[in-house]
Amino acid sequence: MAFDVSLGQYYEGKSLIHKLDPRTKLIYVIMFMVSIFVAKSIYAFALLSVVVLLTVIFSRVPIRTILRGLKPLIVIVAFTAILNIFWTKAESDPLWQWKFITIYKEGLINAGLLALRIILLLVETTLFLSYTTTPIELTDGIESLLAPLKLIKLPVHEFAMLMTIALRFIPTLTDETSKIMNAQKARGADFSSGGLIKRAKALIPIIIPLFVSSFRRADELATAMECRCYRGGEGRTRMKKLKFKVKDVFGWLFSIALLAGVILMNIFLAEYGYMI
């Protein structure tokens, strides 16, 4: 078993996108998501693709790294797109027909656009939220954006801390899993042959030590936090305070302009829209 964790990995850099405030990036990503689901016109898709391409270039994250992160998801994207080809029904003459399967031109275009949609979405969100933002920045950003919810007594800080810890321990646990797997392999464990039940059983020698060590780690972490007088968010100060800068204002304006542009294109260039 191999663990590909490149999706969701921070890529060290000093680009403009790296330096944006995480809150700006979160707002932008939300705006981008809305835009991509609102987009109907082919021009809107062209605009969004260009934006994604430009942001990738600006971030200086190698395109190869991004493509490698996409690799495990290609199957899902392809599957969704192919389903779409067969499911679309249109008024026009079918391109191809065989028993109950009919393929329309609209179906092909729909499938293509759907695949494009998912890929653009994946690239842009991972680029902004994981390749160029450390997990700590991200959770700080989320905590700060959700701060108004404190007024209705939601434990926003605790939620953010929970996320920080969870994110922090993903690489640790991946590491630990591969260590335990190697150790059991060295004792002749075989994870890749036999039926389903045999394979499930073969995982027991990995899962039990993993659980035991997770509980141990949780316990140690709790003790360590208490030793440093952690008692929740109230009155807690930060070493790195989030501060909006001029470039963040441009970021917001860009986000709004993008959404507005997509909506305008939908209205005025609607005859080129194919999505149903």
Is 209 near other proteins (CB under 8 A)? yes
Report the nearest approach of other proteins to the CB of residue 2 (Å): 13
Instruction: Name the segment binding other proteins (CB under 8 A); options: 48-56, 143-151, 200-208, 250-258.
Output: 200-208
Q: How many residues does the chain have?
A: 276
Give me the least distance between CB of 4 and other proteins, in Å please: 11
Closest CB 95 distance from other proteins, rounded Å: 42
Could you say which of 67, 165, 183, 218 contacts other proteins (CB under 8 A)?
183
Structure tokens at 131: 């390749």
- Residue 255 has φ and ψ, to the nearest 5°, of -60, -45
Which amino acid does the sequence have at 215? F
Q: CB 11 → other proteins: shortest distance, Å? A: 7
Which is nearest to 183 in space by CA: 213, 153, 227, 142? 213
Query: What's 103's DSSP letter?
Result: E
Output 187 or 238, the one with its CB closest to other proteins: 187
Name, in order, each residue with C-beta under 8 angstroms of 163's C-beta and a sequence gap of 6 or more.
139, 142
As measured in angstroms, the least distance from the Cβ of 62 to other proteins is: 9
Choose among 104, 84, 25, 88: nearest CA to 58: 25
Instruction: Say whether residue 89 binds other proteins (CB under 8 A).
Output: no
Contact between 188 and other proteins per CB under 8 A = yes
Q: Which of 74, 82, 101, 212 binds other proteins (CB under 8 A)?
A: 212
What Å distances lie between residue 142 and 25, 139, 220, 253, CA to CA?
10, 5, 26, 20
With CB under 8 A as the contact rule, the residue among 112, 135, 205, 261 that binds other proteins is 205
| Closer of 158 and 175 to other proteins (Cβ) | 175
CA dist 107 and 83 (Å) reads 10
Stretch that binds other proteins, among 4-12, 25-33, 69-77, 139-147 (CB under 8 A): 4-12
Q: How far apart are CA 253 and CA 275, in angstroms?
A: 28
Where does this chain bind other proteins (CB under 8 A)? 6, 11-12, 65, 176, 179-180, 182-190, 204-206, 208-209, 212-213
